[in-house]
């Protein structure tokens, strides 16, 4: 006889509020719904405000990707102003963005994601005691080390932007201030120090040795080569993921999207834009983005491009199958995931590509792509800082007044981030944001297709419904960030009771 239960759980250690409703049949997830349960209405706050105000308001969309929102807002205004930032400003913007990414990647991998391995559900694993020793919240050796060391990357941001989070140092035409030799040198030393620590503690080897790991077989031989590799935080994370079966679960929809970011001034650290669908790369076309609302708490409408999107709330409980404040963005009609895994596949990263070719886009591949991304971003930070000329220009004053429409696309730590902005008569007329988590945690679309996290949950084994740690592993491999549910609502519309997991 088939056993069928529904597990409704709020999941923490994602940013913001996410609730999962999973139907479990004979110990395996048969279907899942993911709900964003907080609605902040930030796009609406922007309409009618001053032309530059997105630079102040949008970083506050997200306390963990605030510089990414700033970068997207500034990029949209660059387009509207018709001025590109000078190379020095590009280097400073990239440094801020990449430092934010690197600290987020390391913290998410070894503080918020790895904590699940200290869950008693894994108590029988031979690695459990070591996982607890390193990854138990507030106490684990790695947790303490990571929090201490990653702060130095935020010092880099503060030297250039004044503070982290929530600075507004990027403006159309560049950055607000020219850092001097003192700041650039200090920032470079801090970045060097973090890279040295990341190599010693996280990787257990130098970056060039790690770069030689290009296949799954080479990953295995790297683990066997030295206790320094096997027992590094990354080595342990790899072993824990495999031990828990994450290399066999959490397969996403198989479509991937990257808007591209960190285009530099010749330093070669650019993250390419592109799509990766059914194992094939294609160029990115912004016009192919559309947002669906059939399963989101908004009034019915056909799928629309964000530059024409509208947001009319229609909170109805589960009536009509609506269950989330997130809309469902789709690319070229496809369900796609975004984030470090997508970036690695679009860029053709050899190890990540090999793992996905062999086993599909598993929770392990997704998490590994994030944990190893700093091996690329940290050296790039050093190059940008070394290339910035303290005597050069960091800002080009835009001619005339800001007027018109522009889109700012970038990569946040969690993936593709876009701001679609229209300015009229010095005032924001329209502001639409699609965050990475809007892609990854999206609900079903008009065709009833599940969002990426929902799709990844299907097929996940759940041993103990009272402690469904497997759901946590899969959802957290996406590094979801739900505070970004930014869409607009208007007062006085019909609003009914909203029930989750009923």
Partner 1 sequence: MSGSLYWLQAGGCGGDTWSAVGADSPDLVEALRLGGIEVLWHPSLSRQTPAEHRRLVAELSAGERPLDVFCVEGAVVRGPGGTGMFDTVEGRPKKALVEALARRARFVVAVGTCASFGGLGGDAEVEATGLQFTREVRGGFLGADFTSGAGLPVVNLPGCPCHPEVLVGTLTALLAGAPPPLTERGTPAEWYETLVHQGCSRNEYHEYRVEESDFGGNGCLYFHMGCRGPMTWGPCNKLLWNRRSSKTRAGVPCFGCTEPDFPRPHPFFRTRNIAGIPIELPEGVDRAHFLAYKGMAAAAAPVRLKRRENRV
What would the two tokens of residue 326 be?
A: 């997130």
Stretch that binds partner 1, among 340-348, 377-385, 451-459, 490-498 (CB under 8 A): 490-498
Q: Which letter does DSSP use for residue 120 in this model?
A: G
Give whichever of 320 and 333 is closer to partner 1, judged by the CB atom. 320
| Contacts (Cβ under 8 Å, ≥6 apart) of 171 | 52, 55, 74, 77, 395
Q: Does residue 45 interact with partner 1 by CB under 8 A?
A: yes
Q: Does residue 118 interact with partner 1 by CB under 8 A?
A: yes
Interaction mask 154-193, partner 1, x per CB under 8 A: xx-xxxxxxxxxxxxx-x-xxxxxxxx-x-----------
Q: Does residue 501 interact with partner 1 by CB under 8 A?
A: yes
| Binds partner 1 (CB under 8 A): choice among 22, 111, 223, 363 | 111
Q: Burial letters for 293-326: b for 16+ Cβ neighbours within 10 Å, e otherwise?
A: bbbbbbeebebbebbebebebbbbebeeebbbbb
Stretch that binds partner 1, among 16-24, 225-233, 284-292, 407-415 (CB under 8 A): 16-24
CA angle 122, 126, 131 (to 5 degrees): 60
The Cα-based distances of 137 to 9, 65, 117, 462, 470 in angstroms read 20, 22, 11, 23, 18
Please report how close the Cβ of residue 155 comes to partner 1 at its closest, in angstroms.
5
Q: How far apart are CA 309 and CA 457, in angstroms?
A: 29
| Element (DSSP H or E) covering residue 212 | none
Give whichever of 28 and 177 is closer to partner 1, judged by the CB atom. 177
Give whichever of 18 and 273 is closer to partner 1, judged by the CB atom. 18
Q: Does residue 122 interact with partner 1 by CB under 8 A?
A: no
Stretch that binds partner 1, among 15-23, 200-208, 220-228, 257-265 (CB under 8 A): 15-23
Give whichever of 156 and 273 is closer to partner 1, judged by the CB atom. 156
Interaction mask 317-356, partner 1, x per CB under 8 A: --------x-------------------------------
* Number of CB atoms found within 10 A of residue 462's CB: 18
| Residues 389 and 88 sit within 8 Å (Cβ to Cβ) | yes
Give whichever of 168 and 362 is closer to partner 1, judged by the CB atom. 168
Q: How far apart are CA 269 and CA 16, in angstroms?
A: 31
Give whichever of 158 and 342 is closer to partner 1, judged by the CB atom. 158
Q: How far apart are CA 144 and CA 87, in angstroms?
A: 37
Binding residues among 136-155 for partner 1 as defined by CB under 8 A: 136-139, 143-144, 147-148, 151, 154-155
Q: Does residue 15 interact with partner 1 by CB under 8 A?
A: yes
| Binds partner 1 (CB under 8 A): choice among 4, 206, 358, 490 | 490
Residue written as tokens 């469902």? 328
Q: Does residue 82 interact with partner 1 by CB under 8 A?
A: no
Q: Does residue 42 interact with partner 1 by CB under 8 A?
A: yes
Strand extents, DSSP E, 263-414: 274-277, 280-282, 289-292, 328-331, 337-338, 404-412
């Amino acid at each position: 006889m088939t056993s069928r239960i529904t597990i409704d759980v709020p999941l923490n250690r994602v940013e913001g509020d996410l609730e999962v409703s999973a139907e479990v049949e004979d110990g395996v997830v048969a279907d899942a719904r993911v709900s964003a349960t907080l609605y902040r209405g930030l796009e609406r706050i922007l309409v009618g405000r001053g032309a530059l105000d997105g630079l102040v308001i949008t970083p506050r969309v997200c306390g963990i990707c605030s510089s990414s929102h700033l970068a997207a807002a500034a990029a949209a205004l660059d387009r509207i102003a018709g001025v590109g930032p000078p190379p020095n400003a590009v280097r400073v913007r990239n440094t801020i963005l990449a430092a934010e990414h690197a600290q987020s990647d390391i913290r998410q991998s070894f503080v918020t994601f790895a904590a699940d391995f200290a869950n008693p559900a894994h108590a029988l694993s031979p690695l459990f005691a070591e996982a607890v020793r390193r990854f138990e919240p507030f106490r684990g050796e790695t947790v303490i080390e990571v929090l201490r060391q990653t702060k130095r990357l935020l010092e880099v941001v503060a030297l250039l932007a004044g503070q982290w989070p929530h600075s507004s140092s990027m403006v159309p035409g560049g950055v607000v201030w020219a850092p001097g030799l003192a700041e650039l040198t200090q920032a470079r030393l801090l970045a060097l120090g973090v890279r040295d620590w990341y190599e010693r503690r996280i990787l257990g080897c130098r970056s060039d040795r790690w770069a030689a790991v290009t296949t799954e077989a080479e990953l295995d031989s790297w683990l066997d080569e030295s206790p320094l590799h096997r027992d590094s935080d990354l080595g342990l994370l790899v072993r824990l993921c495999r031990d828990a079966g994450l290399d066999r679960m959490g397969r996403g929809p198989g479509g991937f999207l990257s808007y591209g970011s960190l285009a530099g001034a010749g330093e070669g650290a650019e993250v390419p834009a592109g799509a990766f669908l059914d194992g094939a790369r294609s160029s990115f076309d912004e016009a192919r983005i559309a947002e669906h609302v059939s399963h989101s708490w908004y009034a019915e409408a056909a799928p629309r491009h964000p530059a024409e999107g509208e947001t009319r709330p229609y909170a109805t409980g589960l009536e009509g199958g609506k269950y989330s404040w997130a809309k469902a963005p789709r690319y070229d009609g496809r369900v796609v995931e975004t984030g470090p895994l997508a970036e690695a596949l679009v860029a053709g990263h050899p190890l990540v590509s090999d793992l996905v070719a062999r086993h599909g886009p598993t929770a392990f591949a997704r998490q590994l792509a994030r944990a190893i991304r700093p091996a690329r971003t940290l050296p790039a930070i050093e190059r940008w800082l070394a290339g910035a000329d303290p005597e050069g220009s960091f800002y080009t004053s835009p001619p005339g007044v800001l007027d018109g429409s522009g889109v700012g696309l970038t990569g946040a730590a969690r993936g593709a981030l876009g701001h679609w902005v229209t300015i009229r008569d010095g005032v924001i007329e329209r502001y639409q944001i699609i965050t990475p988590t809007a892609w990854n945690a999206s609900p079903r679309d008009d065709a009833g297709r599940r969002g990426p996290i929902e799709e990844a949950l299907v097929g996940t084994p759940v041993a103990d419904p009272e402690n469904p740690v497997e759901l946590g592993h899969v959802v957290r491999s996406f590094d979801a960030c739900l505070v970004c549910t930014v869409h607009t609502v208007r007062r006085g519309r019909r609003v009914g009771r909203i029930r989750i997991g009923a």
